[in-house]
Chain A
Amino acid sequence: DTEVTQTPKHLVMGMTNKKSLKCEQHMGHRAMYWYKQKAKKPPELMFVYSYEKLSINESVPSRFSPECPNSSLLNLHLHALQPEDSALYLCASSTRGAPGEQFFGPGTRLTVL
C-alpha cells in the first residue's frame, strides 16, 4: 500500500461547527504532515508529527488542533473556523531521514460559510 488516504473529500461547515479531518497511511512512515493550500498557491506547512509527537507547529491558530493517535493516523480537529480558512487541506507522510520525499493525499476541500 503506497498511498495516503484522506476523508472526507469535501466538507462544508459553519463558523460554529466542530469537525475533523482524517488522514491514514500504511507505508510505515514515521513523519506525517498537515498542509493548507489556497488556489494557485503552493502548499503551506501547518504541523509536523515525528514518531507520533508534534515536532513543528507553524504558528497555526488554535482553532486548528492536530492529533496523532498512532503511527498510521493523523487527525485535524476544526473549531470556530473563519471563511478565510476555506482551502484544500493536504496530509503527507515521509520516512525519517528522507525529509523531502513526501507522499501526499488527495486532500480535503474545506468550505467555511
Chain B
Amino acid sequence: QKEVEQDPGPLSVPEGAIVSLNCTYSNSAFQYFMWYRQYSRKGPELLMYTYSSGNKEDGRFTAQVDKSSKYISLFIRDSQPSDSATYLCAMSGGGDDKIIFGKGTRLHILP
C-alpha cells in the first residue's frame, strides 16, 4: 500500500459545480496536510495548509482532514474554467522536512 493514494482522474465537471477531491493515507504520523495546485508547465502553488484534523476555508476552497479515517478532502465551490489544473495532496510530519505527495488529480472545468 502506498503512503498516499490519490485518484489521478481526469475529472471533468461543468462550470459552477462543486468539486470534491480526495486522498487517503496510511501513515498515522502525518500531522500537516496540504493541497497544491499545478498548472501545466508551472511549479506547484500552495492552496491550503492544515495542521491535524478539522476544516479550513479560504474563499471558494475548503480543506477537510479526518485523521481517524486517514482521509483528506478539498472542495471547490462555484468552479471556474481557471480552476482547471492538477491538484496534488501532500502530507508531512514524520519528523523531517520531507513531504509526501499524492499522484495528483487532473481537473477540467468545462465552460
> Which residues does A use to contact B, with CB under 8 Å?
4, 31, 33, 40-43, 45, 48, 50, 55-56, 88, 90, 92, 94, 96, 98-107, 109
Segment touching A, from B12-20, B41-49, B55-63, B75-83: B41-49
The reply to whether the CB of B101 lies closer than 8 angstroms to some CB of chain A is yes
**Category for how many chain B residues contact A:** 20 to 34
The reply to whether the CB of B34 lies closer than 8 angstroms to some CB of chain A is yes
> Which residues does B use to contact A, with CB under 8 Å?
8, 32-34, 36, 41-46, 49, 88, 90-93, 96-99, 101-104, 106
Chain A residue contacts of B92, Cβ below 8 A:
99-100
Does B44 lie within 8 Å of A90, measured CB to CB? Answer: yes
- Tell me the complex Cα distance, A88–B88, Å: 16
Does B43 lie within 8 Å of A56, measured CB to CB? Answer: no
Does B33 lie within 8 Å of A43, measured CB to CB? Answer: no
Expressed in whole angstroms, the minimum distance between the Cβ of A54 and any Cβ of chain B is 11
Does B97 lie within 8 Å of A48, measured CB to CB? Answer: yes
